Amino acid sequence: MTLKTGGCLCGAIRYEIDAEFMGVAVCHCRDCQYASGGGPNFIAMAPRDSVRFVEGEPKRYDRPGGSGATVGRVFCPDCGTPLLSDIGAPFLAVKLAAWTTRPT
């Protein structure tokens, strides 16, 4: 088991993920292109309960996705780094760029 830690570009937001990822995925939808800045959105699926914010208070923007279900996009209010998406599933879609792994 490894504890994964991550956060935003400016360092205001830090989080920990205390579980193995359930998988990785790539989303090419139009909304994700906004979040990624142009390319597809690379995400890792982390069990919902395993993600906790340990520093800072992220902001969340909710909008219906392609399926009609609400997609919550969580980001740093200071530097704008996209951190994760919440599609109401048992997992949270964590942006691959924002986390690192260290042994525990």
Stretch that binds Zn ion, among 15-23, 32-40, 42-50, 91-99 (CB under 5 A): 32-40
Site residues for Zn ion, 37-76, by CB under 5 A, read 76
Q: How far is the CB of 19 from Zn ion (least distance, A)?
A: 23
Q: How far is the CB of 77 from Zn ion (least distance, A)?
A: 8
Non-local (6+) Cβ contacts of 78 within 8 A are 8, 10, 12
Q: How far is CA 43 from CA 32, 61, 104, in A?
A: 11, 17, 23
Q: How far is the CB of 97 from Zn ion (least distance, A)?
A: 13
Cβ proximity to Zn ion: between 62 and 103 the closer is: 62
Site residues for Zn ion, 2-31, by CB under 5 A, read 8, 10, 12, 27, 29
DSSP string, 40-94: -EEEEEEEGGGEEEEES--EEEEEE-TTSSEEEEEE-TTT--EEEEE-SSSEEEE
- Which 3 state secondary structure label does DSSP give 39? coil
Chain contacts with Zn ion (rule: CB under 5 A): 8, 10, 12, 27, 29, 32, 76, 78-79
